[in-house]
Amino acid sequence: MKHLLITICAVCFSFTAAVAQDNATSEKKATTETKKLSSSEKKEADLLEAFKTAGITAEEQVKVRVIVDESTAFYKALKADASLSEEDKKAKSKEYSNDVRNPKLNEVIGEAKSKAFREAQKAQKEAAAAAKQ
C-alpha cells in the first residue's frame, strides 16, 4: 500500500514538473513575440517623431516611407553579405547614403526638411545606443 501511494505521488510530481516546463516555454515564446512587436512599434513611433520634428506633410511621408523601405532593404542585404568585410560594408553604406538615399530625400522633401529628418533619426539612434549602455 505504501509503495502504491509513493508511486502515485511520484507520478503526480513528475507530471506537474513537465506541465510547468511546458508553460514556461510558452511564456518565453510569447515574450519574444511581444518584444518583436514592440520593436516594430518603436521603429514606427520613432519614424513618426522624425516626421513631426522635420515638419514633413502627410503626402511627403508616403514618399519618404518608400525611400526608407528601399534603404532598409539595401542595408539588410548589405549586412547579410558575408563576402564583404566590415570596412567594405561601412563604405558601401556611406556611399549609398550619399549617392542614393540623401539625394532622393532632397528631391522629395527639400534639402532643409531632409537635413532635419536625418538629424532627427541620428538623434534617435544615439539615444537608443545610450539607453543600451
Domain range list for the chain: 38-132
Query: Which of 120, 117, 124 has the alpha carbon at shortest distance from 101?
Result: 117
Q: Is 113 exposed, middle or buried (0-12, 13-18, 19+ CB in 10 A)?
A: buried
**Residue 61 to residue 18: CA distance in whole angstroms:** 51
pLDDT surpasses 80 at 29: no
pTM: 0.66
User: Which pLDDT value is given to residue 123?
Assistant: 92
pLDDT surpasses 60 at 20: no
Q: pLDDT per residue over 43-73, tens digit each?
A: 888 999 999 999 999 999 999 999 999 999 9
